[in-house]
Structure 1
Amino acid sequence: MNRTKRLRAITRNGVALVVALVTLFPIFWMISTAFKPATEIYSLTPHPLPAHPTWSNFANVINGSVIGMPYWTFLRNSLVVTLSSVVVSSALALLAAIAVARFRFRFRATYLIMLLIVQMLPQQALVIALFLDFRAANLLDSLVGLTLLYIAFSLPVTIWMLRNFVAAVPRELEEAAAIDGAGPFRVFFRVLLPLVAPGLVTTSVFAFIFAWNEFVFALTFLGTDTAKFTLPIYVTYFFSKGSVDWGAIMAASVLFTLPVMIFFLIVQRRLRAGLLAGAVKG
């Protein structure tokens, strides 16, 4: 019996190891290629590690010589759009989730169903209609317009996710705080918000990844103003006619991935703290 359990454990660990290697290998190859000179990248005998590491690929990306603008301009644009959409969509979604989970009103079920229907529609099918609407509203070539678009796309999912967290908080906690003399705002900030914090962090991760990686709408809505391009558009400029600068592409991809990893590490600690706080307060 012990031998069978040990065999199953070894099998599970082996499968997990294989899955981890398959998943992490593209990331490893991306980082390795980013430090390789062109002679090693296009060599017929590829090596997993660079024999002569170089920073030239990162220098080409940061200098922005391919487009005439430095990397920091596009990083700033991406951070402004992404963080703004995360903050606004999380705040609006939390208020909407409280309304849906705590109150009974007319067309409440219809509203929830409409949120699901909106998510079923492919986003690319809305490009032309939204382009015409944003052009009429004079929101093309604008980071504000792109931020509003990302907020609109993030809200349906974030509202659904936060609704479950709000519904899981017992009403008795809010009623007890109200009996003790706490007003609506104090109940919200002292009772409800700490318990819903894990869900708020989860939705912020979703909104961040969506806004940070989105390419089609950014290219369509910022197509004529190079100074307002985001990082996903900047990476494509290393694909030139007849040739591809793989070293610069991999270096740009590494720089593009770092903010997401940093954000996730920060959020992960906040998520753990929020779960512990919610457990103690509950």
Structure 2
Amino acid sequence: MIKHRKPMPIGKILVMVASFFWLVPLILIFINSFKPYNDMLQHFLALPKQWSLSMYFETWNKFGFTHLMGNTVLYTVSTVLLVLLVAPMSAYKLSRTKSRFSKFCLLAIIIPMMVPFQSYMISLTRIVSSVGLSGTRIGYILVSTGLCVPLAVFMIHGFVKTVPYELEESACIDGAGKIRTYVQIVLPLLQPILVTVIVLDALATWNDIITNQLIVGGKVAAMNIQNSLYMRFSAQTADWEHALPGIVMSMIPSLIFFALMQRKIISGVTAGSVKG
């Protein structure tokens, strides 16, 4: 008996085509990162004549990638830790407190999500400058944390509603205080959404360029990788043969991190959307 293969659904075909177009820029960046500048201009779509890592080593030393990587890791880890310290407690308290003031506080926290960043970035920059934190690492970390907290609170707030309140009542009956209940009962149950927050905020901070430019400016010692790369191919300069290897090296950690954690993101977002 001859078995006939079912035709591939149109949806899958469209997804494959869309995925290809999304990957084309990344593929071209990777291919051209191995080419000299002249070959890059004349044969942009062709494969490199020689696959050599010499430009990568040269870019690493020229950019000072060791220092940039240290800055970027510092910003990413610090921002994620501060968000994890502030957002779960805030979201838990606001979710369990049923009052108009609680609703107002939640709205005030998530308003920055609804307003375009471009509309208040100048005011934000002036505030940071007025308190003497412009051009500093601590200033950028605080601003980055503040920008990441609203989405984290919003996501965790919805997830807390899926945690049975009876567990907290049982802990209270057993003599546990509010802090102990939060740390030992509630916080472990928030793990799925916390992992999602960690991944999203880590990627956002690692790939950030606009905020780093606004807060750090041209201070090389405090730049992250993306800001430093941007300076290499602006309107005045065209150091493409070093910029493209730098872009590839900056993408590798975030791509690996996302690939390893993507299932956690999906499970966390899905679980947090069960109740609103």
For the aligned pair, the TM-score class normalised by the smaller chain equals 0.7 to 0.9
Q: Which residue of 1 aligns with 2:274?
A: none
Counterpart residue identity of residue 63, structure 1: N
Q: Any residues of structure 2 matched to 1:146-161 within 5 Å, and which? A: 146-161=140-155
Provide TM-score, normalisation by structure 1.
0.83
1-structure distance, mates of 2:222, 2:237: 26
1-structure distance, mates of 2:268, 2:31: 36
Q: Which residue of 2 aligns with 1:40?
A: 39
Pair 1:143 & 2:137 matched: yes
Structure 1 residue 180: Cα displacement: 4.4
Pair 1:229 & 2:223 matched: yes
Partner-residue secondary structure (3-state), 1:53: coil
Give deviations 1:204-260, integer Å, cap 9, x for gaps.
222222222222231122224211111111102322666523232221111111221
Q: Which residue of 1 aligns with 2:21?
A: 22
Q: Residue 37 of structure 1 contacts residue 54 of structure 1 at CA under 8 Å; is this kept in 2?
A: no
Check 1:138–1:86 CA distance in 2 against 1; reply closer, same or farther (3 A cut): same
Q: Aligned pair count?
A: 267
Q: Which residue of 1 aligns with 2:105?
A: 111
1-structure distance, mates of 2:161, 2:104: 18
1-structure distance, mates of 2:207, 2:103: 32
Q: Any residues of structure 2 matched to 1:192-207 within 5 Å, and which? A: 192-207=186-201
Q: Which residue of 1 aligns with 2:52?
A: 54
Check 1:15–1:271 CA distance in 2 against 1; reply closer, same or farther (3 A cut): closer
Q: Which residue of 1 aligns with 2:250?
A: 256
Pair 1:122 & 2:116 matched: yes
Q: 5+ unaligned residues in a row in structure 1: which ranges? A: 276-282
Give deviations 1:4-45, integer Å, cap 9, x for gaps.
x934x4323322221221122222222111122334312247
Q: Which residue of 2 aligns with 1:95?
A: 89
Q: Residue 193 of structure 2 contacts residue 268 of structure 2 at CA under 8 Å; is this kept in 1?
A: no
Counterpart residue identity of residue 56, structure 1: S
Counterpart residue identity of residue 75, structure 1: M
Pair 1:6 & 2:6 matched: yes
Structure 1 residue 151: Cα displacement: 0.9
Pair 1:211 & 2:209 matched: no
Give deviations 1:79-104, integer Å, cap 9, x for gaps.
11121011101221100010011122
2-structure distance, mates of 1:88, 1:242: 37
Partner-residue secondary structure (3-state), 1:244: coil
Bigger mean CA offset, 136-145 vs 124-133: 124-133
2-structure distance, mates of 1:274, 1:20: 24
Bigger mean CA offset, 254-263 vs 242-251: 242-251
Provide TM-score, normalisation by structure 2.
0.85
Bigger mean CA offset, 226-235 vs 208-217: 208-217
Counterpart residue identity of residue 42, structure 2: S
Q: Which residue of 1 aligns with 2:185?
A: 191
Q: Which residue of 2 aligns with 1:163?
A: 157
Check 1:161–1:62 CA distance in 2 against 1; reply closer, same or farther (3 A cut): same
Counterpart residue identity of residue 107, structure 2: I
Check 1:31–1:44 CA distance in 2 against 1; reply closer, same or farther (3 A cut): closer
Cα root mean square deviation, aligned: 2.8
2-structure distance, mates of 1:173, 1:222: 46
Counterpart residue identity of residue 43, structure 1: Q
2-structure distance, mates of 1:204, 1:242: 37
2-structure distance, mates of 1:160, 1:105: 17
2-structure distance, mates of 1:45, 1:125: 37
Bigger mean CA offset, 239-248 vs 266-275: 266-275
Q: 5+ unaligned residues in a row in structure 2: which ranges? A: 270-276
